[in-house]
Amino acid sequence: MAYVNTIGCGAGQSSSRPPLFDHTNFATWKTRFRIYARSQGVRVWMAIEDGVIIPTKTVDDIIIEKKVGEYNTIEEERINIDAKAEMVITSALDEKEYERVNNYKSAQEMWD
């Protein structure tokens, strides 16, 4: 039996949430997911497909993540886009698939 939420809408059949991957018909899900992700903004899809450059700083050849307040506006926007892309991906996965990708550090890593 397919999942149906309290308002009678089957999983993944809403324009406000991504299609749910249920381990069947991956090719169709991937196409529907790409369409959904692009509808969230072309930059979100680009972050998923190509990745974004997450800003870091270098101290004596050691790469360290910057702290809040050390980012400029463009860097913050890149981080926010990647975070939105990660949310789009994880919202489309069931618990089993989520467990496979939840330790990745970017949307592109999750997608790959």
Examine residue 39 and state whether it is found in any structural domain, yes or no: yes
Residue the block writes with tokens 């992700």 = 37
CA dihedral 105, 69, 44, 4 (to 10 degrees): 70
Examine residue 17 and state whether it is found in any structural domain, yes or no: no
CA distance 71 to 5: 40
Q: Mean pLDDT: which of 2-6, 15-19, 92-96 is highest?
A: 92-96
Examine residue 90 and state whether it is found in any structural domain, yes or no: yes
Examine residue 4 and state whether it is found in any structural domain, yes or no: no
Examine residue 7 and state whether it is found in any structural domain, yes or no: no
For residue 53, give the amino acid letter: I
CB distance 67 to 58 below 8 Å = no
- Does the structure show a pLDDT above 70 at 4? no
Model confidence at 7, pLDDT cuts 50, 70, 90, reads very low
Domain span including residue 66: 26-111
Examine residue 70 and state whether it is found in any structural domain, yes or no: yes
- Does the structure show a pLDDT above 70 at 107? yes
Examine residue 11 and state whether it is found in any structural domain, yes or no: no
Structural domains in the chain (count):
1
Examine residue 64 and state whether it is found in any structural domain, yes or no: yes
Residue-wise pLDDT for 34-91, tens only, equals 999 999 988 898 989 988 876 666 666 665 677 767 777 888 888 889 889 999 999 9
pLDDT at residue 9, rounded to an integer: 46
